[in-house]
Amino acid sequence: MKNTVFLGTLAAAGLVAGFASAATLDDVKARGELNCGVNTGLVGFAAPDANGNWSGFDVAICRAMAAAVLGDASKVRFVPTTGQTRFTALASGEVDILSRNTTWTFSRDADLKFTFTGVNYYDGQGFMVNKALGVTSAKELDGATICIQTGTTTELNLADFFKSNNMNYDPVPIETNAEGEQQFLAGACDAYTTDASGLAATRAAFANPDEYVILPEIISKEPLGPLVRQGDDQWADIGRWTLNALIAAEEYGVTSANIEELSKGTDNPEINRLLGAGEDNLGAMLGLEKDWAKKAIIGAGGNYGEIFAATIGESTPIGLARGLNAQWTQGGLLYSPPFR
C-alpha cells in the first residue's frame, strides 16, 4: 500500500511538472490571449491599479507581445508570480512568457531550460537602510539583520558578498516584496536587499521615502529580461525581436507621436523595414503580420525610452536614471541588432 501511495504521488507530481507545448504561437493565437507572468506587485515594473489594470515597465513588454501577435495590447492575462513560483509557472505552460525582473544567469538558461529573449533592464543588487542607522556603506553592515526575497539570485549574491568581506549577517527570508516592505518598515530587519531598481520602486511607495537611503555599493550584475521556455525557437524569436523593436525604435527616433506618420514610408530603409512600410516583410519570417513591430510599439505605449520615462524614469516617483540602460549611442548598453 505504501508503495502505491508513493507511486501515486510520483505520478501526481509528474502531472504538475507539466506539458511543454512546441508551438506557443499557435496556442496563443487559438486562445486569443497572451498569458504573461509578472511580479505580484512592484510599483513601476508591474502593479495593478485600483481598477485591476496592470501597468509598468515589465507589463509593457507583455502588451507589446500581445499587440505584435494578436494585434490587441489589451488581450493579456497577467499572472502574478512570486520569486519561488515563477519558473514553475513558465515551465508548466501556465504562462507563455515571464516578464518579471528575472536575472539572466547561466544555470537558468542552461539547466532550468529557459531561453532569455534579451535584457530590458541592466540592474545590480543594492541595499536600502534607514537613514537613522547612520550607515553609509554596505561594508558597515557586519552583524546586521537583512530582509531578502527567497528563491532569487540576490540570496546567493548576499551570501557571497558577506563571505568575501568576512562579515556576518542574519537573513530574514520573505516571500513577496509587500511582505519585505512591511518587515523593513517595522524594523524587523536593518537592511533590505534586492535589485537597485526594485529598491527604488519599493522606496517610492513608502510614506516617507526621504527617511531611507540606498547604499552606494552595487554587489552584483543583474541583467533583467523576459524569458520563455526552451525548445520553441519561433516563440523565443518573437520575444527577442519585439524587445529589439522597442529598443531600435528609440534609436531611430520612432515615437508613439510620429509612428503613424513614419509608417507611411520614410527615407530611412531601416525604419521602413522595422515598421513594415517598405517592400520587405519581416513579420512573415516570424509568422506575424507585416506591421507587427508598429503594433508592438503602439501597444507598449511607445518606444523603449518612452516606456522607461512613463513607468520608472526620473519624472516618476521611482526616479531611476537611464544609466546603463541608455542607448549605446548615449553611452549605455542598449544595442539592438539590425532589422535586416
Partner 1 sequence: MATATGAPKASFRLSMLLYDTRYRSMTIQVVVLLLFMAGVAWLVDNTIRNLETLGKDFSYGFLWNRAGYDINQTLVQYSNDSTHARAMLVGLLNTLLVAFMSCAAATVLGLIIGVLRLSPNWIIGRLTTVYVEVFRNIPVLLWILVAYAIFTEVMPPPNAFRGDTPTASMILFDSVALTNRYTAVPDPLFSRSLGNIDLGLFLVSVDLLAIIVVITGSILANRAILARATRVQNATGIRPVTWWKSLAVLVLPLLLLLVALGFHVERPQLRGFNFTGGINVSNSLMALWLGLTLYTTAFIAEIVRAGIASVSHGQTEAAFALGLRPGHTMRLVILPQALRVIVPPLISQYLNITKNSSLAIAVGYMDLRGTLGGITLNQTGRELEAVLLMMLIYLAISLVISGVMNLYNNSVKLKER
Q: Which of residues 12-31 bind partner 1 (CB under 8 A)?
A: 12-20
CB of 184 to partner 1, least distance (A): 11
Is the Cβ–Cβ distance between 176 and 41 less than 8 Å? yes
Q: Which candidate, 61, 33, 34, 39, places its Cα nearest to that of 243?
A: 61
Q: Which three cell numbers stand for residue 37?
A: 507572468
**β-strand partners of 334:** 327
CB of 311 to partner 1, least distance (A): 27
Is the Cβ–Cβ distance between 190 and 133 less than 8 Å? yes
Q: Which candidate, 62, 46, 36, 301, places its Cα nearest to that of 198?
A: 46
Rounded Cα distance between 107 and 125, Å, is 18
Alpha-carbon distances of 44 from 6, 11, 74, 235, rounded to whole Å: 45, 41, 18, 26
Residue number with CB closer to partner 1 (15 or 50): 15
CB of 160 to partner 1, least distance (A): 8
Is the Cβ–Cβ distance between 100 and 56 less than 8 Å? no
Rounded Cα distance between 219 and 196, Å, is 10
Residue number with CB closer to partner 1 (12 or 284): 12
Return the residue matching grid coordinates 527604488.
200
Q: Which of residues 148-207 bind partner 1 (CB under 8 A)?
A: 150-151, 155-156, 158-160, 163, 169-175, 183, 186-190
Residue number with CB closer to partner 1 (143 or 337): 143
Rounded Cα distance between 314 and 318, Å, is 7
Taking contact as CB under 8 A, which single stretch among the options 54-62, 70-78, 140-148, 305-313 is the one that binds partner 1? 140-148
Query: Which of 7, 23, 257, 284 forms a contact with partner 1 (CB under 8 A)?
Result: 7
Q: Which of residues 250-309 bind partner 1 (CB under 8 A)?
A: none
CB of 25 to partner 1, least distance (A): 17
Taking contact as CB under 8 A, which single stretch among the options 48-56, 227-235, 242-250, 304-312 is the one that binds partner 1? 227-235
Query: Which of 26, 142, 233, 261 forms a contact with partner 1 (CB under 8 A)?
Result: 142
CB of 46 to partner 1, least distance (A): 19
Query: Which of 27, 48, 72, 145 forms a contact with partner 1 (CB under 8 A)?
Result: 145
**β-strand partners of 194:** 126
CB of 178 to partner 1, least distance (A): 13
CB of 102 to partner 1, least distance (A): 12
* x/- track of binding to partner 1 for residues 80-119 (CB under 8 A): ---xx--xx--x---------------xx--xxx------
Residue number with CB closer to partner 1 (185 or 309): 185
Rounded Cα distance between 240 and 117, Å, is 4
Residue number with CB closer to partner 1 (167 or 204): 167
> What residue ranges in the chain does DSSP mark as E strands?
34-39, 47-48, 54-55, 76-81, 97-98, 114-116, 121-123, 125-130, 144-149, 169-174, 191-195, 212-214, 222-224, 227-229
Rounded Cα distance between 276 and 282, Å, is 7
Residue number with CB closer to partner 1 (51 or 107): 107
CB of 126 to partner 1, least distance (A): 18
| List of residues contacting partner 1 (CB under 8 A) | 2, 4-20, 83-84, 87-88, 91, 107-108, 111-113, 133, 141-145, 150-151, 155-156, 158-160, 163, 169-175, 183, 186-190, 229-231
